[in-house]
Structure 1
């Protein structure tokens, strides 16, 4: 696999996959992506770091190192990302050499199937021997778009199945927290959550807000919490990757929140049986298909009052938690095992 990055949340999936291909699978990645806050963090054997050059004002990137090995290998997986010049080079060169190359990633950019770069992704797929998607809905769309090309779904997952369990009790008094887990960056719209929480806590003073993560906006968020008079209600937890510590936060949560686009975090909160308050009109990642489980509370985009109403709705429903059936669905369909299985089938060309 020759990929831009492998973040730490890929650890479980990659451990399983490497066990299934002992000594046969090499991973080539860079230390960080175009967005330097997205970093590789897996600790794995057969992992090799390659350099990345960011070009054209940080719009595209070129990786170098171990390209000859990537060119010669029988089966190769590259990013389905038109910003990767190295992926384009390997796709074209290996097609000339009649070697099998798979593309792995989001079928469309977050702007959707009609965006400018969606056609570039389709072109990458035409050069490839097959496609690996993150969701079942994208698998169906990919099969429809290029009939005859094989497509596998490696559902975008965080945890092993035995770690995906409904957490906490249905006792309403034990749940008082609104939870955000993720980066503190502009696209995530965490300041909007602060404003909305300030509205909600005026009506329900027992509410607390726990922010798990970090990023360039942390100082701004701390300052804004003081300005809003809610600093004593907001807990900055820092980065937490340990699943057992995260479960403790979800045990006390009435909901998680995605004030910007929703993605992989949806599999986390629903897997623990906790609903997510989600903004309607954002360029969500394909994992938004999990909204069909009923675990999403939709709110109007960029509306502090609507989001505050969503938080209060979660407060009123907290006695229904955890959402056991939703958790069961995630465990069965969005585990590290199911993701690794999709990748395994793709590498072995099992259909």
Structure 2
């Protein structure tokens, strides 16, 4: 967002609520031109309205809105701006997490038909979008975390002692972090040098600590708290044999592969589009909801730790999934530039 703000030199408006519909997801964006707008949740948090920006949003020459069928505000802006013949683009997940064959997929399709174009998170979604609505322009803004210069593999091979299994994210039920603790308790029996580092926080932290105590691995499970910034996080990835995603994988996959560290991923989960990065070879698939299968994945990465960091994987993320490539896609969409 900072790159876009600088590029448009004051001619960009950003509207965001302080939290997602999922209350555990908070906004951390702080850039010039950003306005925090009020969110009202409806129907038991199944839908929402946003206020405080509608008049200005309707008047803008080009507007990008969230491709989220739960947003009544998004529908309102699509319909009104279409009637006013103003250019509106949708940006987000092309399909629901459950896939393109689900019943609700047609609702996202309807939103796209009302829009003048689509911005997707991934290149595979761009191809699918073009097939579904031939003739409608599609741009890619790869979901990114860091500038290209900051996406670097960790310490060179042989210079870091890699012993850590790493989880980075929220400690919430949907994330299934307890599976990581259970799998680690199995893996550490074969590889006693392993250590589990949990970076983040959330409502399940006390439960996870008690689980580690009950499984007799509390001395090897470290709760690191929230860690921000590429340099601070890089220190954790520099000693990791792998990161792990027991639930759905998303932006964290971009992060770990950028550091040249593979991710152990549960197979049958509603993964975000970033899962296309599995094609880099940086994903170790394991069975969902199976501590035994995940433990095998952890053991496999520990045995191959001398091959880390994966410099080719990190280079691919740097070239294709940087803040610059993300900003370029959004810039081109706003300007109507097709490359």
Moved over 4 A (4+): none
Match of 1:330 in 2: 317
Match of 2:168 in 1: 181
1:315 and 1:291 map into 2 onto residues whose CA distance is: 19
1:1-351 paired onto structure 2 within 5 Å: 14-171=1-158, 174-351=161-338
2:231 and 2:103 map into 1 onto residues whose CA distance is: 42
* Deviation by residue 1:206-252 (Cα, 9 ceiling, x = unmatched): 10000001111111111111111111101101111111010000000
Aligned-pair distance for 1:333?
0.1
1:172 and 1:141 map into 2 onto residues whose CA distance is: 43
Aligned-pair distance for 1:173?
6.7
Query: Contact 1:266–1:287 (CA<8 Å) still a contact in 2?
Result: yes
2:301 and 2:92 map into 1 onto residues whose CA distance is: 33
TM-score (norm 1): 0.95
1:228 and 1:173 map into 2 onto residues whose CA distance is: 29
Unaligned runs of 5+ in 1: 1-13
Unaligned runs of 5+ in 2: none
Aligned-pair distance for 1:186?
1.3
Query: Contact 2:160–2:239 (CA<8 Å) still a contact in 1?
Result: no
Aligned residue pairs, count: 338
Deviates more, 1:205-214 or 1:112-121: 112-121
RMSD of Structure 2 on Structure 1 (CA): 0.9
Query: Contact 1:166–1:327 (CA<8 Å) still a contact in 2?
Result: yes
Query: Contact 1:172–1:319 (CA<8 Å) still a contact in 2?
Result: no
Aligned-pair distance for 1:109?
1.3
Aligned-pair distance for 1:39?
1.0
1:108 and 1:231 map into 2 onto residues whose CA distance is: 40
1:339 and 1:28 map into 2 onto residues whose CA distance is: 18
Aligned residue for 2:25, secondary structure, equals coil
1:66 and 1:172 map into 2 onto residues whose CA distance is: 52
Match of 1:9 in 2: none
2:229 and 2:141 map into 1 onto residues whose CA distance is: 23
2:175 and 2:249 map into 1 onto residues whose CA distance is: 9
Aligned residue for 1:281, secondary structure, equals coil
Aligned residue for 2:271, secondary structure, equals coil
TM-score (norm 2): 0.99
Aligned-pair distance for 1:311?
0.2
1:170 and 1:302 map into 2 onto residues whose CA distance is: 33
Aligned-pair distance for 1:272?
0.6
Deviates more, 1:167-176 or 1:149-158: 167-176
Match of 1:5 in 2: none
2:248 and 2:214 map into 1 onto residues whose CA distance is: 26
Query: Contact 1:271–1:326 (CA<8 Å) still a contact in 2?
Result: yes
Query: Per the alignment, do residues 172 and 188 of structure 1 end up closer, same or farther by CA in structure 2, a change over 3 Å counting?
Result: farther
